[in-house]
Structure 1
Amino acid sequence: MRVPPLPDPANQLSRERIAAGAVGDRSVDVPAAAITMTPYDPAWPSLFARERVRIRAALGAHAIAVERVGSTAVPGLAAQNRVDIDLIVPDPADEPAYLPVLEPLGYVLRTREPAWYQHRCCWNDGHTVNLHVFGPDCDEHLRHLIFRDWLRSHPDDQATYQAAKRRAAADQPWSVSAYNARKVTAILDILHKAGLRPPRGDDQEANLRPSPGR
């Protein structure tokens, strides 16, 4: 697998970015319920497996990959009770090629971010799944896979990340952007351990690290 660069903390999920990418009548930054951590649920893999079968059956060869990612993809890790799935398609900007096929499955487009890897995100009925749509060889998708696999095989870092998530949820239960900002340092530290480095030409690794106050 190609190793992508570390993400730029300056492009994290701010309230402004959420608002700019929001589609439809979804809320901006304020979650429908307080952010809480649920102990790892053995039902999460089954939910993913069922959705992967449905998505692949609907999209056929247009679904290049359907991957289980995020905290619910790491056995033993507490998470928000919502499964994250990465769907890789030939061109996320070509929405007519996949959205009309996903809609009968209950998925509705809720985020459109052309400037960020052409990312789209669909929610299913009940919002138990975030379906992230990316293109082939996308840096962010590769980071998702590397982060997931690292946590699966490094229990100490899994514990560190779980503690960071619990602190973030306790401190910022009513702001998605603030909750995510509180986790950034832990995420970047783990990705750095997994071998990711700043983009070529940036000699100051510290520039990609948010201050501890975040």
Structure 2
Amino acid sequence: MTIKNYTVVPYQPSWPIWFKEESDNIKLIFKHAILKSHHIGSTSVPGLAGKPTIDMLFIVKNVSQIDSQLILMEKIGYQSLGAKNDPGTRLLEKYVNGQRRFIAHFYPVNHPEIKQMLATRDYLRSHPLDTKKYSVLKFSLFKKFPNYYQKYSAQKYKLMATIKKKALAWSNNITAFQNARQKEKNKIFKKLITIFSAIALEGHIFGSLARGSSDEFSDIDFWATFSDQKIKKIIAQRLKLYKKIGKIIIYHEAQQNYPLGGTYAYLLFQTSAGPIHVDLYLSPKNSARLWGKSKILFNKKNLKIPKGKMIYETKRETRDIQDRVKFIICMTFNGIKKIIRKNDNKFLDFLVEIYNDLRQKSFPKIKKVTPKNSTKTLEKILDNLFIISNRENRQAIQQIKLFLNQIKKLYL
């Protein structure tokens, strides 16, 4: 039996930093040959115990490009293990202070193993119970076989094989969901262009869709510009325009988001792939603006739309309390993507704050909610709002809860 010195330690927050720094150095060597890089293995999963060795996956056009730069990799401390795992791949390792610190895996694009590696990582990131179970097993086996790595590795194989199988099935379901969402989002996007290119002077998108970074939860930020003479008529018939886009679950016109002389609507449309969110801005020519990296979709008269921050409308009209309820329902839907992406804890604090403010000022009989970055927080808010909602808002809450349950089954 081969004896190998190794250790298993709790998850370290420094591991993603090590990955970023080292992968950036490698990208400088190979430049455009690397199409994508991913942090994989145990050190890529928050909360998962593992050996303090950073596994880096580099997706390349052709592994022959790697062979031509091996000398440069050797200069930064790497040694080549050749095609150790697969004839079409390359594996390099780097030791720091006598310990194997980095492993660089180079795989050609579309290699079938890539999907499995990323699926396993993403599954464990989304399923903390399996992550904990795997960590407990690792520590137990390390305690039992501190000097026999092969036995350690062999005896965790069964659980790992089960996790990999579950991960691949989970990933396939996620992919099907993502494709369905994209298909429905494309339908709405095309309708927006068709409807507004017929009546508006100019139309553009901004946000994640314009940047090319949208995902299955991203909304569509759409801006339509009208002549200063026509905008009042458009605003008067805006509800008819909204309904032409699709079946509306809920919409809210937040006055603080109105462009000067125009209007704004948060629109949630019912589709076969769940609710799709559109932020729609209708403005006169004199207050139209291109935000950040906007993408112009049509421009009939070659209007010169200035770049910069939006000029907001300052006029306000008094609205009833159900309008405030409607706003919080919409924000609760936004909370779903914030939880899945795990990139904006402050939003959940904001959501709880505006809910509790509504409760304290208008509905003291409903329950107070404490901030917690989980779907339970969203469920509590929706359940409590349902009690004090009108029929329209209740129907929207029911649709959002159905979607939330679907997301929990898929992602959590």
TM-score computed with the length of structure 1 as normaliser: 0.69
What is the SS of the residue equivalent to 2:91? strand
Superposition deviation, residue 86 in structure 1: 1.1
1:64 to 31, 35, 41: 35
Indicate if the aligned counterparts of 1:30 and 1:175 stay in contact, CA closer than 8 A.
yes
Superposition deviation, residue 60 in structure 1: 0.6
Q: Which residue of 2 aligns with 1:9?
A: none
Structure 1's 111 and 176: CA in aligned 2 closer, same or farther, altered over 3 A?
A: farther
Q: Which residue of 2 aligns with 1:165?
A: 138
Indicate whether 1:118 and 2:88 are aligned.
yes
Higher relative contact order (CA 8 A, sep 6+): 1
C-alpha distance in 1, partners of 2:61/2:150?
Answer: 29
C-alpha distance in 2, partners of 1:151/1:109?
Answer: 29
C-alpha distance in 2, partners of 1:174/1:83?
Answer: 21
C-alpha distance in 2, partners of 1:68/1:88?
Answer: 12
Query: Which shifted more, 124-133 or 72-81?
Result: 124-133
Indicate whether 1:148 and 2:118 are aligned.
no
Indicate whether 1:129 and 2:99 are aligned.
no
Larger Rg: 2
1:105 to 68, 71, 76: 76
Superposition RMSD in Å: 2.3
Superposition deviation, residue 95 in structure 1: 4.8
Superposition deviation, residue 160 in structure 1: 1.3
C-alpha distance in 2, partners of 1:62/1:50?
Answer: 18
Indicate if the aligned counterparts of 1:40 and 1:76 stay in contact, CA closer than 8 A.
yes
Q: Which residue of 1 aligns with 2:54?
A: 83
Indicate whether 1:184 and 2:168 are aligned.
no
What amino acid does structure 1 have at the position aligned with 2:151?
A
C-alpha distance in 2, partners of 1:51/1:118?
Answer: 23
Indicate if the aligned counterparts of 1:117 and 1:138 stay in contact, CA closer than 8 A.
no
> What stretches of structure 2 of length at least 5 have no aligned partner?
171-412
Total equivalences in the alignment: 167
Deviations 1:23-68 (A, max 9, x none): xxxxxx532x2x3211111111111110111111110111122210
C-alpha distance in 2, partners of 1:168/1:77?
Answer: 15
Indicate if the aligned counterparts of 2:47 and 2:132 stay in contact, CA closer than 8 A.
no
C-alpha distance in 2, partners of 1:38/1:168?
Answer: 12
Structure 1's 92 and 167: CA in aligned 2 closer, same or farther, altered over 3 A?
A: farther
Indicate if the aligned counterparts of 2:42 and 2:50 stay in contact, CA closer than 8 A.
yes
Query: Which shifted more, 80-89 or 131-140?
Result: 131-140
Q: Which residue of 1 aligns with 2:11?
A: 40
C-alpha distance in 2, partners of 1:79/1:49?
Answer: 18
What amino acid does structure 2 have at the position aligned with 1:150?
Y
C-alpha distance in 2, partners of 1:100/1:141?
Answer: 26
Structure 1's 177 and 134: CA in aligned 2 closer, same or farther, altered over 3 A?
A: farther
Indicate if the aligned counterparts of 1:164 and 1:182 stay in contact, CA closer than 8 A.
no
Indicate if the aligned counterparts of 2:61 and 2:108 stay in contact, CA closer than 8 A.
yes
C-alpha distance in 2, partners of 1:36/1:125?
Answer: 15
Please identify which structure carries the higher strand content.
2
TM-score computed with the length of structure 2 as normaliser: 0.38
C-alpha distance in 2, partners of 1:129/1:68?
Answer: 11
Indicate if the aligned counterparts of 2:120 and 2:168 stay in contact, CA closer than 8 A.
no
Superposition deviation, residue 181 in structure 1: 1.3
Superposition deviation, residue 117 in structure 1: 4.8
Indicate whether 1:30 and 2:3 are aligned.
yes
Q: Which residue of 2 aligns with 1:49?
A: 20
Q: Which residue of 2 aligns with 1:18?
A: none
C-alpha distance in 1, partners of 2:71/2:47?
Answer: 36
